[in-house]
Structure 1
Amino acid sequence: MQFPEETSVDVIKRLRRLEGQIRGLQRMVEEGSECREIVTQLAAAKGALDRVGFKLMSSAMSQQTEDTNMDELEKLFLKLS
């Protein structure tokens, strides 16, 4: 399924931001940051990744056509939860 350009641009932007968060986490581990701080940042990154998935699913569901396999969309949605 192709996504509208607006969705693709937004998702790429979110993924790049997430990439920065992950690099920051790597740095925190390398520098010996406190576990609490690392876990807090991990939770933030996980939340950001979840939001990317929901953005994609929202776009897919809003584009549904007669050819859309709703069972497949439902399975994809459940993978996110």
Structure 2
Amino acid sequence: MEMNATVLADALTRLRRAHGQLGAVVNMIENGDECERVLIQLAAVSKALDRAGFKIISTGMRQCQAARERGEQPPLSEEQLEKLFLALS
């Protein structure tokens, strides 16, 4: 399945945000910040990554459904989509 930056703009936004948050977590650790603050920010990074992953999978599911409706072979099988979905959970 090809990745389309326009279609996945929301996922890209989430990934960029997570990238910045992760950099902040690294800086917090390097600067000896409090454990609780580091863990809160790390949880935010994790959640942003999860949401981006689910956005990508849901986009893939829509693309597969659209291909079926056009009578075309979908880019991914149901088994492939399920495997990708389970990899995130």
Provide the aligned length of Structure 1 versus Structure 2: 81
CA apart distance, 1:15: 1.4
Q: Percent identity?
A: 43
Higher relative contact order (CA 8 A, sep 6+): 1
2:54 and 2:88 in contact (8 A); partners too: yes
Give 1:16 deviation, angstroms: 1.4
Indicate the larger mover: 26-35 or 3-12. Answer: 3-12
Gaps of 5+ in 2: none
Distance 2:2 2:79 in 1: 18
Tell me, in whole angstroms, the C-alpha distance in 1 between the residues paired with 2:78 and 2:4. Answer: 19
Contact between 2:18 and 2:48, CA under 8 Å: does it hold in 1? yes
> What is the alpha-carbon distance in structure 2 between the residues aligned to residue 4 and residue 63 of structure 1?
11
Aligned counterparts of 2:61 and 2:37: Cα–Cα separation in 1: 36
Which of structures 1 and 2 has the bigger CA Rg?
2
Is structure 2 residue 43 aligned with structure 1 residue 8? no
Deviation at 1:2, TM superposition (A): 1.9
Taking structure 1 as the reference length, what is the TM-score of the superposition?
Answer: 0.89
